[in-house]
Amino acid sequence: MNKPRTDEDQALVSRTQAGDAAAFDELVVKYTPRLYGLVYNMTSNHEDTNDLLQDVFSKAYKAIRGFRGKSSFYTWIHSIAVNMTLNFLKKRGRRFQLSLDDVDASVQNDKEFLEATATSSPVREADLSELQRRLNEAMMKLSDEHRAVVTMFHIQGMPHAEISKILRVSEGTVRSRLFYANRQLQSYLDEFRKNPVA
Buried b (16+ CB within 10 A) or exposed e, 158-180: bebebbbbbbeeeeebbeebbee
Residue number, 94 or 194, with CB nearest to other proteins: 194
Chain centroid to CA 101: 15
Minimal distance, residue 123 CB to other proteins, in Å: 18
Which three-class secondary structure string do you get for 118-173?
Answer: CCCCHHHHHHHHHHHHHHHHHHHHCCHHHHHHHHHHHHCCCCHHHHHHHHCCCHHH
- Of these, 125, 126, 190, 196, which contacts other proteins (CB under 8 A)? 190
Instruction: Give just the sign of the alpha carbon dihedral 28, 33, 38, 44.
Output: positive
| The dihedral formed by the CA atoms of 73, 74, 75 and 79, expressed in degrees to the nearest 10 | 90
- Of these, 23, 37, 144, 171, which contacts other proteins (CB under 8 A)? 37
Contact 171, 104 (CB under 8 A): no
- Of these, 53, 163, 167, 174, which contacts other proteins (CB under 8 A)? 53
- Told to check if 14 binds other proteins by CB under 8 A, we report no
Minimal distance, residue 168 CB to other proteins, in Å: 22
Minimal distance, residue 15 CB to other proteins, in Å: 14
- Told to check if 182 binds other proteins by CB under 8 A, we report yes
Kindly state the DSSP code that residue 3 receives in the 8-state scheme: P
Residue number, 120 or 132, with CB nearest to other proteins: 132
Q: Considering only residues 103-162, where is the footprint of other proteins by CB under 8 A?
A: 103-104, 106-107, 110, 112-113, 116, 131-132, 135-136, 150, 154-155, 157
Residues near other proteins (CB under 8 A): 1, 17, 19, 25, 28-29, 32-33, 36-37, 40-41, 46, 49-50, 53-54, 57-58, 61, 65, 100-104, 106-107, 110, 112-113, 116, 131-132, 135-136, 150, 154-155, 157, 182, 185-186, 189-190, 193-194
